Structure 1
């Protein structure tokens, strides 16, 4: 075909050079050749053809110039397009539409809009093609106001029922967050093709209306509209967000039936859906179906799935495979892996990924840098977090929220408040997460007045509606400070019942401050919410034991046994030499246990000499004080610290993680141990960090 067209073109040039004249059909042949080069993106041949036309002295008519505009635009040579358009002596609606479309497709959206406005100023009629392209530009710019004006023009020009225009209107409104307007345009269309349905479903997904996206897909099937891979991909995204794996599996069968399973973007969507649903077996199967389609998106989806399932070793293994395939990781890959290190406090792995982030130049990415701030904070290295935050050139709301959360986790409420004030001063808007972190920081520092002020300012000043988590934080804030009556009044004034965390916080406060009656109320409410959770029974049992109400203690322990509830055993662990060492109470399983207990006994002698007195009253089991002291002495966090002192280099901070709240006696002992050893000891318990140094704790004994 190319050969025939080129012969026609040569004949046409010869006729023009030797003065034989030409016919309109010759121009059509040249136009067809230009069209072919545009479709096949053969820019070089297109330029040669253009040069031959100029060299042959042929005066380009508007018809051929429009085809050249289209060719240069589609081949990405937009400088030529602009020059050619500027030299046109006569422009018609096709010329303007070609320019607007070219600007839009080359991501020059502002120029697409300004060219459309210029076209209207010069009196040209807006065609459906120009309107569709400028609507695409408005969608990308999020310019809903101008898009609404274009909608009026669409109706005025009689294009309201044009499918192509309607699809772009639907897409524009949905991308600008105007879902109701998008739905209205969709419903008014008399005929709906797969493009229009796809725009509607994709709009629902982008605006978080995932249930409506699935309903729209079902209606599409009922209306017997053709299902293509784009519709299936958007619907899979909705299933992914809803974790609707059953419905997604039916989509998977349709994908296989239509032969779309080897499409890379479909494979990515399936991998992401199964990963987010927690079905890593299916995700892995899809991932391995066609190794030729693997890319950074599919690798990141599988890594993220392993991270969500707390399978960090498999996530790291997938990252290694990614590098073996020669695929470069992106910011989402690193964010997911660093998040995994945060969740499991794997500082060694996190440090290695930090090095990779620097290598691939993602350290300036605000999202990646925020995850690094979070990771170091959750691993106990507060100074690293602060330093990384200070190195971010223009920290955004995510970065500030992260640092507020880190300070709260470390019990530094005043630092959290100061960071929040800096955030507001920069004009950044706080969200629900900001206030959860801020209230936790105030709670852990005893800043009751500040915490209450921030809670009541949430909706009034910042427009953030408090959720159950915020109410629970206030209950914890008042309870920790011993203001149990105020906490009770606050609970009674709440617009809804406290959640399990709220009642658990209140119950814990009642235990600390010895309020048996309020503790019974809180325990009963917590038992109703979580009947299989033994925590309420154990806390209430401890309160009764402290009051020497032994019959009540026996009754509660019988309830635990009869209900097959298991008390969560306490564990502590340390990461040394890329290996995690886990210890329980009176643990004898470690190969160096003899050395560990010798170290423990030596530490006990040393701390007693400088003032440590065992708090045997905290052991509520009826036994001799000597046995109580031995039990306290063999708590898991102390064993972990003793092992760290043996195995770690002198001067390196000791970081211990614990699955329960650190007990009062261990808290006292660790302060003295930090003094006699001259080591910084960092303990991360279930709710916060404690930094022990020189016989002091960062919490100021308020936790």
Structure 2
């Protein structure tokens, strides 16, 4: 029996079913070999750990066995990690700590397994702060760090948006804090540079690139690809191209990174040229290559190129996956061809909600709001489950069209769906939609019921009050927001300054503008300055408005120019108005019909009829047409 069991324990694990393993365990237990002879435990653990169905038996057996020797539990931890069960790795380690069986462990791979397990758990569950803290404590108690454990820890920091901590650990390696022999490898740099791309750390990324050049790691393809991606994502396409051209060898990822870089800056012709060069070098293409080309056409609004890429895919028999289909729908929509986008959706005949979301947002972007709302009926008839992105698109369609009745229906659907009703994103969108449709009472109902409010929530209600002529209510909401320690952003100040502008609250508006600059350190944009100028101009304080224009940190545009000219006309200050007309007629932005009308009106009020005829003639020769005004409110209830 003993020889037979020994033979079985050293066979290929794939030969045994879960039932076979349980039978072997029974034989080992009844014969006493499992409890009396530890040499049978490790091979049996290896067998049970190799089968997902018996993992829990292995863990239970392991934690209840009293005679485990020192090497046994590290093997257990390492094998568990190989089976991609991170929670069991942490559980076994904690159990061994409680049972005091882990003592002083010198196996660095155990700690590497623990750090990797924490990283995997952080990627799949909440409570990330406690997990990264646990991983840090495990890392700190390691008797000896290796590049594997360091890379695992750096990766954990980056995944938790802790780039500074990851870079700090990298600096410790360079300072020889972990010994003279431990050096960063290419994986360390790939993780850190990729983290810089994700976490807006361009300056740090450039420093890391410099380190790579000094150490020769820039010759490693994986590092070069990460650096190309860094420069591309931050718009430094010439630096990315230089890096790409200097590579001794390029793989598919290199080509894809460069094509995606050109796509990101809207240089669709260069992206297509690079793809052709790649194919000429006998380098294959994949899903990423095609999506990058489609994105290039979309960003460049180049319908012709988009159709060429789509045709190439059809000719080569490339599979149109959900990701590629979504990219095609997005591209056709951005190029204004919603018919082609809808044809792609119909031909795919896929029940994935992502495709439908792309089509809904495509319709909204092209101003076809009714078509977007009609898609919702098709989604329901196909028994598809709308998600947050679906509902945001539908709410935008109601908002843009001013369709309050449809908006109420969408709101009702959200309230009755357990997966959607608690979404702060949807609640913010509903507040904005009701406000744009002119129903501040419904907007306030949604706002007041929100269990938690972020800066977008407060900004939405403030802007809603502002566009509906409720200036004092907008300022009151702003004060409540500050009282609740929610810091306003640039858009919040546009809303509250606009409210002051239309309510005639000049001093309040000037004080808020001063707070924005001095207290919140928000750099003024043309929209902020426009509110102040219009506010002063409406109040007849033209001298102050003119001085503000001269001192503001942003170049004057046509909209602000028209504000001042029209204010001079309203308040009878023709001299100042004529001075503005003669001083700003050379602005590159002054070519619209509204600009000529503003100039013509004040010239007429000043009795300069020859100049009026000249302005009208210029307007006629440039065939400028004035865009008709349109209300965003359809239901006046």
Bin for the TM-score computed over the shorter chain: 0.7 to 0.9
* Structure 1 residue 310 corresponds to structure 2 residue 367: yes
From the superposition, tell whether residues 195 and 565 of structure 1 become closer, same or farther in structure 2 (CA, over 3 Å).
Answer: same
Aligned to 1:138: 157
Distance 1:93 1:215 in 2: 39
Paired residues of 2:338 and 2:363 also in contact (CA < 8 A): yes
CA distance in 2, matches of 1:540, 1:418: 38
544 and 217 in structure 1: CA distance in 2 versus 1, 3 angstrom threshold: closer
> What displacement does 1:378 show?
0.9
Whether contact under 8 Å (1:93, 1:126) holds in the other structure is yes
1:636 counterpart residue number: none
Q: 2:193 aligns to what?
A: 170
Q: How does 1:5-24 map to 2 (within 5 A)?
A: none
Distance (whole Å) between structure 1 residues aligned to residue 462 and residue 551 of structure 2: 28
- Tell me which moved more, 487-496 or 262-271: 262-271
Pair 187,571 (structure 1): closer, same or farther in 2 beyond 3 Å = closer
SS of 2:592's partner is: coil
- Alignment check: 8 A CA contact 2:466 2:495 kept: yes
The aligned counterpart of 1:46 is: 55
Where does residue 67 of structure 1 map in the other structure?
78
CA contact (8 A) 2:411 2:430 kept: yes
Alignment correspondent of 2:117: 102
| Contact in 2 for aligned 1:15/1:22 (Cα 8 Å) | no
Question: CA separation in 1, counterparts of 2:547 and 2:88?
Answer: 70
Distance 2:379 2:229 in 1: 29
- Aligned ranges for residues 520-531 of structure 1 at < 5 Å? 520-523=578-581, 525=584, 528-531=587-590
Relative distance call for 1:195 and 1:351 in structure 2 (3 A) is farther
Q: Deviations over 1:470-528 (max 9, x none)?
A: 22222111111122222122222233431111112112222322333333344452674
Q: 1:550 to 1:573 in 2, by over 3 A?
A: farther
* Other-structure match for 1:334: 391
Distance in 2 (alpha carbons) for counterparts of 1:22 and 1:548: 112
Q: Which of residues 144, 148, 152 is equivalent to 2:171?
A: 152
Matches within 5 A, 1:665-680: none
Aligned twin of 1:661: none
Q: Counterpart of 1:453?
A: 511
Measure the CA separation in 1 of the matches of 2:115 and 2:535: 58
Q: Which moved more, 1:97-106 or 1:111-120?
A: 111-120
Of stretches 247-256 and 402-411 in structure 1, the one that deviates more from structure 2 is: 247-256
TM-score normalised to the size of structure 1?
Answer: 0.69
What's the CA shift string for 1:289-321, capped at 9, x where partnerless?
Answer: 7555x6444433332232222221333344444
Please say if 1:348 is aligned against 2:417: no
Matched with 1:594 is none
What is the rounded CA distance, in whole Å, between the counterparts of 1:263 and 1:197 in structure 2?
29
Moved more, 100-109 or 85-94: 85-94
Give the SS at the match of 1:518: helix
For the 8 Å contact 1:439–1:474, the answer to whether it is kept is: yes
Aligned residues of 2:462 and 2:496 also touching (Cα < 8 A): yes
Higher mean C-alpha deviation, range 3-12 or range 459-468: 3-12
Q: Secondary structure at the match of 2:235?
A: helix
Rounded to whole Å, the distance in 2 between the matches of 1:176 and 1:105 is 19
Partner of 1:444: 502
Q: Secondary structure at the match of 1:498?
A: coil
The equivalent residue for 2:211 is 188
Match of 2:9 in 1: none
Partners of 2:553 and 2:66 in 1: how far apart?
A: 82
Deviation at 1:405, TM superposition (A): 0.9
Contact 1:239 1:273 in 2 (8 A): no
Partner of 2:414: 357
Bigger CA drift: 62-71 or 267-276? 267-276
Q: Using the alignment, how far apart are the partners of 2:352 and 2:259 within structure 1? A: 21
Which deviations, in whole Å up to 9, do the C-alpha atoms of 1:327-362 show, x marking residues without a partner? Answer: 422223322321232222221222222122212243
Q: Does 1:390 align with 2:448?
A: yes
| Counterpart Cα distance in 2 of 1:220 and 1:288 | 39
CA distance in 2, matches of 1:259, 1:145: 34
Task: Give yes or no for contact 2:565–2:581 (8 Å, CA) kept in 1.
Answer: yes
For 1:243 and 1:453, locate their aligned partners in 2 and report how far apart those are by CA, in whole Å.
41
Per mean C-alpha deviation after superposition, the further-off stretch among 557-566 and 382-391 is: 557-566
Q: Which runs of 5+ in 1 are unaligned?
A: 38-42, 577-652, 655-703
The equivalent of 2:236 in structure 1 is 212
Residue equivalent to 2:251: 226
**Structural mapping, 1:464-483, within 5 Å:** 464-483=522-541
- Once the 2 structures are TM-superposed, how far is the Cα of residue 379 of structure 1 from its aligned partner? 0.8
Change in CA separation of 1:572 and 1:409 when aligned onto 2, cut-off 3 Å:
closer
The aligned counterpart of 1:590 is: none
Question: SS state of the match for residue 106, structure 1?
Answer: helix
Q: 1:296 to 1:249 in 2, by over 3 A?
A: farther
Name 1:89's counterpart in structure 2: 102
TM alignment of 1:575-594, pairs within 5 A:
575=634
Unaligned runs of 5+ in 2: 1-11, 288-318
CA–CA distance in 1 between the matches of 2:83 and 2:95? 10
Instruction: Indicate how the Cα distance of structure 1 residues 175 and 560 shifts in structure 2: closer, same or farther if over 3 A, else same.
Output: closer
Partners of 2:526 and 2:80 lie apart in 1 by 59
Q: Do the aligned partners of residues 402 and 247 (structure 1) sit closer, same or farther apart at CA in structure 2, a change above 3 Å counting?
A: farther
State how many pairs are aligned: 566
Q: In 2, distance between residues paired with 1:325 and 1:218?
A: 50
Kindly tell me: are residues 461 and 556 of structure 1, through their superposed partners in 2, closer, same or farther at Cα, counting changes over 3 Å? same
Q: Post-superposition shift, 1:395?
A: 1.3
Task: Report the equivalent of 2:439.
Answer: 381
User: Structure 1 pair 307/521, CA: closer, same or farther in 2 (3 Å)?
Assistant: farther
**Which residue in the other structure is 1:127 paired with?**
146
Q: Which residue pairs with 1:542 in the alignment?
A: 601
Q: Note if 1:557 corresponds to 2:616.
A: yes
Distance 1:234 1:315 in 2: 35
Whether the 8 Å CA contact 2:147–2:184 is kept in 1: the answer is no
Q: 1:267 to 1:113 in 2, by over 3 A?
A: same
Q: Which residue of 2 aligns with 1:258?
A: 285
Residue aligning to 1:685: none
CA distance in 1, matches of 2:113, 2:549: 64
Q: Distance in 2 between matches of 1:225 and 1:29?
A: 46
